[in-house]
Amino acid sequence: MSSHRFAGEVAIVGIGATEFSKASGRSELRLATEAVKAAIADAGITPDQVGGMVTYSSETNPDVDIARALGIGDLTFFSRIHYGGGAACATVQQAALAVDAGVADYVVCYRAFNERSGNRFGAGVQGRAPIANAEMAHLGSYMPVGLLTPASWVAMAAQRYMHVTGTTSADLANIAIADRKHAATNPKAWFYEQPITLEDHQASRWIVEPLRLLDCCQETDGAQAIVVTSLERARDLPNAPAVIRAAAQGSGKGQDMMTSYYRDDLCGLPEMAVVGEQLWGTSGLGPADMDAAILYDHFSPYVLYQLEELGFCGKGEAKDFIKDGRIEHGGALPLNLHGGQLGEAYLHGMNGIAEGVRQVRGTAVNQVEGLDRIVVTAGTGVPTSGLVLSSDA
Amino acid sequence: MDTRIDHSVALAALVGQVSGEPAMGPHLVNEAMIVHWVEAMGDANPVYVDDAGAREVGLEGIIAPPTMLQAWVMVGLRATLERESARASGSAKSGEESANDTMMRLLDEEGFTSVVATNCEQDYDRPLVLGEQVAVQLTIEAISDVKTTGLGTGRFATTRYDFYVIPPSTERSGSAIAAEVASAERIGTMRFRILKFAPAPRSAPKPPRPLPSVTQDNAFFWEGLKDGELRIQRCTSCGTLRHTPLPGCGECQSLDWDWIVSAGAGEIYSHVTVHYPQVPSFDYPLPIGLIELDEGTRIVANLDMNPDDVKIGMRVQASIVAFDDELSLPVFAPVTA
C-alpha cells in the first residue's frame, strides 16, 4: 500500500490559462507567460514568491525566459518531465515533492504551445533519416512502415481491444458524445454550443481505422499554468485550496513510448494500474469515492482502458459502463466536465487538472453539486501520471 | 478557366486540303529492299523473293509485299530529321509550309507538343512489281475536337496518303510530279492517325520512405532485411526472443545475444488502416499489421492485401521487399489454403 508523505499536505492554489484557439497569433513563449502570470495572480501571490517551475521535456519555452519576463526571482527548483502528455499530473507531483521537501515554497507548473498553428503532433513523425539514438530507434522502427502518428499508434492497440472485448465504434462514440455535451455548455471550449450525436460520430471519416475523426482530440493553441504550495500556506490564500490527496507517476511492464505492442495483451495500460494503485493506496480512497473523473482523452479508446485500470469497472466492461449517460453531467461518474481534449482543448492534459481544481472549488461551468473528490489522469500509451484532488475538509 | 490557345477554326479549314506537292520515292521498287523487308518481318512467302514461285501462283513475277506501300516513298532518317528540325525551329520558309506542316504547327501552338501514332489503315488496289516508281500525295482528312485521353489532352488528326505509280525518272520538280500524278494510276491508300497532345503533368516522383534509426543495438535487424532475412534477437543465455531489439534480456539480465532467422510465418494479432494524414511516401488507404510470428515475437509490418479483407487471426507470410537501396522491409500477405 502506497503512502506518499506529501499527500494531503500540499494543494493547488492557482490556475491560469490563455484562450484556447486554432491560431493564437502570438508566440508560444507569450502564451506561456500569459498563463503563468494569470495563475500567479489567481493564487494571490507575487512573482517573486515563486521558487520553482516544472514543465514537460517537450515544452519549447524555457522556465528562465518566463521567469525573466514576469519578474520571478531566484529559482531553487526546476524540472522537466518526459513522455508528452504523460507528464501532466507529474508536473504537480514534482511540485508537491519540492514543496513538501522544503525546496521551494511556491512552484508553478506550465504547458504552452501553438500545437495547431505551429508544430502539429497529429502530422506525425516525418523525414527520411532520423537521428540514431535509442529513443528514435524505437519509434523509428515504425516510420518506414508508415505508422507515423499518435492516432495510428493508439489505433493498433484499440483494434485488438475492440476485437477481444466486443467494443464497437458506436461504443467509443459515448466518450465523444459526453465530452462534446460538456463542451457545449463551456464558453471556454472550442466546441462550445456544438454537441454531437451518435450519427455525427458514425458519419465522421476514418483517420486510422478503427478511429474516426470524432475519436481524436483537437489540435490547440494555448497555455495552462498551475500553482502548487503547502496546504498550510494555501489556507491563507484567497482561493479554496484543491488538496492533493495523491499524485503519482507510473510506468509498467513491457513499457514503450506509445507502441507497447509486445506485452502479453494489448487490452490494458499497466502503467495506469501502477498510477492507480498509488492514488488509491495513498489517499485511502477508491473509485467508488470519486464524484467525477477527468480521464485523459487524446483518443477515445484509452478512456475505456483507464476506467478498467483504475477500477471503475472490470476488464472488458467499460463499453457497458459508459452507456446510458453514466459518464455525462448528472450521471454516476461524470467524465471530463470541461469537455475534455475532444471538446474543450488539447492542452496536453493540463487543462484537465485546471478543471479538477474548479470542480473542487465549486466554480466550474458544469459543476457537480457537492463534489468533494475527483481523479485526474495524464497522457496514456506512455509512462503516465495521475492525481486525486479534494476540498480541504 | 482554360486559357490555352484555341486554333479550332484554322484547323477546321485545313480538313480536306491536299498537303503540299506530291513526293516521289527515292528508289524504284527493287529486290534488295524487298529482301530486307521480308527478312525483318520473317515472311517466307516465295512470291516476294522467288520469280518461279511467284509465277507458280499465277503472278507475272515477283511482287512487293503490300505492307511496304509507304516504304517506297520514305526519304530516310537524315532527311526526315532535317525537315522536322526546320519545322520545330521555325526556319522552314512560310511558302514551303504544307497543310500538314501548318496543322502540326497549329497543334504545337495549342500546346499539343507531343505526338503518338494511334492507327494506320492501308488499302491496296493492286500489287507493286519490280521497277515501278511510286509517288505519294497527302490530304488532311480529319482533325478532331480537343479530347482528353489517358496520355493527356489533345486532338486526333488523320492524314490520307494516296499512292500512285508514275513513269520512272531521275529528275523531276514537284510540279512535274504533280502533273504525272494527276493522270496516274492509284495503287493504294493509307490513313494515318496521330494524337497530338499536351502530356499530362508528370506527378512528382514519390519520395522514398522514411528510414529507420539504426543504432549499434538494432543494426543487425535492418542489415538482415537488406540481406533478405527477417532476424529476431535471441538471448544466448536463456533463449528468450525479443523484438524490438534491446542490449539486454529482461528475463535473465544477460547482455549476450545473437539472432535467429524467422520463417516469416505468423498471424495477424492486430491491424490498422491509415487514411490520414497522407504522407507522399505511401499509398492510402494503408493497411498495417501487428503480426505474431510463429517463433513467438510480434512485428509491425505492411500488409499486401485489401484493407477490408484484413482480419485478426488471419494466417500471413512475409516476403522481404527492397523499397530502395537503403531500405528493405518484410511485407505480409495472406496464406492461401
Dump pLDDT digits (tens) for A246-301.
999 999 999 999 999 999 999 999 999 999 999 999 999 999 999 999 999 999 99
Strands B231-235 and B133-143 come out as unpaired
The Cβ of residue B226 has, within 10 Å, a number of other Cβ atoms equal to 13
Residue A42 pLDDT exceeds 90: yes
A196, part of any domain = no
Residues A138/A144/A149/A151 CA torsion (nearest 10 deg): -100
Residue A317, pLDDT above cutoff 50: yes
> 3-class SS at B175?
helix
Please give the pLDDT value at position B17.
Answer: 92
Could you tell me the sign of the dihedral formed by the alpha carbons of A63, A66, A68, A71, in that order? Answer: negative
Structural domain contains residue A44: yes
- From chain A, the residues in CB contact with B211 under 8 A are 128-130, 140, 143-144
B334-B336-B337 Cα angle (round to 5): 135
Distance set, CA B83 to CA A4, B22, B101, B111 (Å): 93, 16, 10, 20
Mean pLDDT of chain A, nearest integer: 96
Is the pLDDT at B282 greater than 90? The verdict is: yes
- Residues of A in Cβ contact (< 8 Å) with B214: 132, 137
Using CA atoms, how far apart are residues B275 and A216, in angstroms rounded to an integer? 13
pLDDT at B3: 59
Cα angle A86, A89, A94; round to 5: 110
pLDDT at A44 over 70: yes
Instruction: Find where cell 516465295 sits.
Output: B46
Q: Give the contacts of A150 (CB within 8 A, at least 6 positions apart).
A: A121, A122, A124, A258, A298, A299, A381
| Residue B176 scores a pLDDT above 90 | no
The alpha-carbon gap from A120 to the nearest alpha carbon of chain B, in Å, equals: 11
Please name the helix (run of DSSP H) or strand (run of DSSP E) that holds residue A137, with its range, or none. Answer: helix A134-140
Strand partners, B324: B327
What range defines the domain where residue A243 resides?
Answer: 10-118+217-390
Q: How many CA atoms lie within 13 A of A393 on its CB side?
A: 9
Chain A positions contacting chain B at CB under 8 Å are 122-134, 136-149, 152, 155-157, 159-160, 163, 205-210, 259, 261-262, 266
Name the nearest CA neighbour of A309 among A275, A336, A346: A275
The answer to the question of residue A149 being in a domain is no
The predicted pLDDT at position B1 comes to 42
Residue A150 in any domain: the answer is no
* pLDDT surpasses 80 at A129: no
Structural domains present in chain B = 8-29+64-199 (3.10.129.10), 219-334 (2.40.50)
Residue with cell 537503403: B326
Instruction: Express as a percent the part of chain B with pLDDT over 70.
Output: 96
Helix H or strand E encompassing B315: strand B315-324
Residue B201 Ramachandran class (φ > 0 left, ψ -120 to 50 alpha, else beta): beta
Res. B182 pLDDT band, cuts 50 70 90: confident
- On whether residue A198 sits in a domain, the answer given is no
Q: What is the mean pLDDT of residues A68-89?
A: 97
- What CATH number is associated with residue A107? 3.40.47.10
Q: Is the pLDDT of residue B189 over 80?
A: yes
CB < 8 Å to B288, chain A: 145-147, 152, 156
3-state helix, strand, coil in chain A (%, to 5): 35, 20, 45
Task: Give residue B201's pLDDT band: very low, low, confident or very high (50, 70, 90).
Answer: confident
Interval B87-104 mean pLDDT:
76
pLDDT in tens, B107-143: 999 999 999 999 999 999 999 999 999 999 999 999 9
Confidence of residue A36 (pLDDT cuts 50, 70, 90): very high
* Structural domain includes residue A281: yes
A170: in domain = no
Supply the pLDDT for residue B2.
52
For residue A337, give the H/E element and its range.
Answer: none
Q: Say if A311 falls within a structural domain.
A: yes
More confident site: B162 or A2 = B162
* pLDDT at A139 (0 to 100): 84
Q: In this structure, what C-alpha cell is assigned to residue B50?
A: 522467288
pLDDT at A350 over 60: yes
Give mean pLDDT, residues B243-265: 96
Which of B173, B264, B222 lies closest to A143, judged by CA?
B222
User: Residues 257..276 of B with a Cβ closer than 8 Å to A: which?
Assistant: 269-276
Tell me: the pLDDT tens digits for A85-119? Answer: 999 999 999 999 999 999 999 999 999 999 999 98
> Can you tell me the distance from the alpha carbon of B21 to that of B176, in angstroms, rounded to the nearest whole number?
10
CA distance B212 to chain A (A): 5
B213-225 pLDDT tens trace = 999 999 999 999 9
The rounded distance, in Å, linking the Cα atoms of B53 and A25 is 92
- Best probe of the A interface among B211, B270, B292, B312, by most A CBs < 10 A, is B270
Q: Which amino acid is at B95?
A: G
> What's the average model confidence in pLDDT over B285-306?
97
pLDDT higher than 90, residue B15: yes
Residue of B nearest to A260 (CA): B244
CB–CB of A357/A61 below 8 Å?
no
In angstroms, what separates the C-alpha of A202 from chain B's closest C-alpha? Answer: 16
Angle between helices A301-309 and A169-183 (to 10 degrees): 90
Catalytic positions of A, written as ranges: 296, 346
pLDDT at res. B337: 64
* Domains held by chain A: number: 1
* CB of B37 less than 8 A from some CB of A: no
Q: Beta partners for B122?
A: B190
H helix or E strand, kind and range, residue A171: helix A169-183
* Residue numbers in A near B327 (CB within 8 A): 144
CA distance A322 to chain B (A): 24
Whether A126 has a pLDDT exceeding 70, the answer reads: no
